[in-house]
Amino acid sequence: QGKFTLLRDTRTDGSFLVHHFLSFYLRAGCKVCFVALLQSFSHYNIVAQKLGVSLAAAKERGQLVFLEGLKSCLDLLFGEEEQPGQPSPLQFLSGSTSDLKALFDFVRVSLTPADGDSWKGPVLLVDDLSVLLSLGAAPVAVLDFIHYCRVSVCCQLKGNVVVLVHSNEDSEDEENKLVVNSLCHHSDLILWAEGLATGFCKDVHGQIKIIKRLSLRQAAEQDLVQIYQYKIQDRNVTFFARGLSAAVL
């Protein structure tokens, strides 16, 4: 509890990690606020069903609060309000404000326990934070949003925050680099999915670097780094040590 987990991907798609955490926390009985900026609800629901979880059922029982970013953007840009009188969480797109306060308020209200709630703990899941930059949000506004979410969800509500960001070491996108580097410094755990430097392989889809930020808690400690390779299958992901894939053995 109270942990901030950063999912990072380079030269590959790390969304399989998002699907894992979404199904994991729903099965664990946690209250989940999912800020989905990359795909539609039906996409996430189809993948979740393969993992044995129904997002539609979770929404109906109040366990899952789902913000469909693609639909919210269209509603805002074409002047349609999702609920009359309710400000859109992505209000910064209209140009009336430059901060992400409306998005933070949406998260805070969604995860604040109501009377009679029996969920085990609140979880904020964001896929993917880099989209906010592409939509025109300033890096400082994005980092402020994550900071306030960490204070509210991790510290006050004793919940967890899981965020996916895209990073490309060869990219000239300085704003994205700033956000990614800042988040790395503040995260308790980093799961970094990388594409293979040697190119495509049907038996190895990439490698994942697991960085446990021990130095965040104790200054003298070294971060614990573990590296595995993985292969994504239809319903699960297989992990193995480097050099022990079916292609080698």
pTM, full prediction: 0.92
Q: How many domains does the chain have?
A: 1
For the cut 60, the answer to whether the pLDDT of residue 153 exceeds it is: yes
Domain annotation covers residue 206 = no
Say which amino acid occupies 245.
S
- Which domain CATH number covers 104? 3.40.50.300
Full domain range(s) for residue 119: 3-78+88-198
- Cβ burial, residue 79 (10 Å; 0-12/13-18/19+): exposed
Averaged pLDDT for residues 132-148 = 94
Averaged pLDDT for residues 174-203 = 92
Band of the pLDDT at 249, cuts 50, 70, 90? low
Domain annotation covers residue 140 = yes
For the cut 80, the answer to whether the pLDDT of residue 182 exceeds it is: yes
Q: Could you tell me which of 163, 178, 91 has the C-alpha nearest to residue 125? A: 163
Q: What proportions of the chain, in percent to the nearest 5, are helix, strand and coil?
A: 35, 25, 40
Percentage of the chain modeled with pLDDT above 90: 67
Domain annotation covers residue 143 = yes
Band of the pLDDT at 243, cuts 50, 70, 90? confident
Averaged pLDDT for residues 5-15 = 94
Averaged pLDDT for residues 70-84 = 75
Residue 99, by phi and psi: left (phi above 0), alpha (psi -120 to 50) or beta?
Answer: beta
Strands 31-36 and 122-127: parallel
b/e string for 97-129 if b means 16 or more Cβ within 10 A? eebbbbbbebbbebbeeeeeeebebbbbbbbbb
Domain annotation covers residue 8 = yes
Domain annotation covers residue 56 = yes
Domain annotation covers residue 93 = yes
The two counts, helices (H) then strands (E), for the chain are 8, 9
Helix (H) or strand (E) holding 48, with range, is helix 41-50
- Cβ burial, residue 180 (10 Å; 0-12/13-18/19+): buried
Helix (H) or strand (E) holding 22, with range, is helix 15-27
* pLDDT, tens only, 91-132: 888 877 788 999 999 999 999 988 777 888 999 999 989 999
> In whole angstroms, what is the distance from residue 230 CA to residue 149 CA?
31
For the cut 60, the answer to whether the pLDDT of residue 146 exceeds it is: yes
Band of the pLDDT at 22, cuts 50, 70, 90? very high
For the cut 80, the answer to whether the pLDDT of residue 245 exceeds it is: no
Domain annotation covers residue 229 = no
Band of the pLDDT at 80, cuts 50, 70, 90? low
Chain Cα centroid distance, residue 155: 18
For the cut 60, the answer to whether the pLDDT of residue 47 exceeds it is: yes
> In whole angstroms, what is the distance from residue 197 CA to residue 177 CA?
20
Contact indicator for 73, 93 with CB cutoff of 8 Å: yes
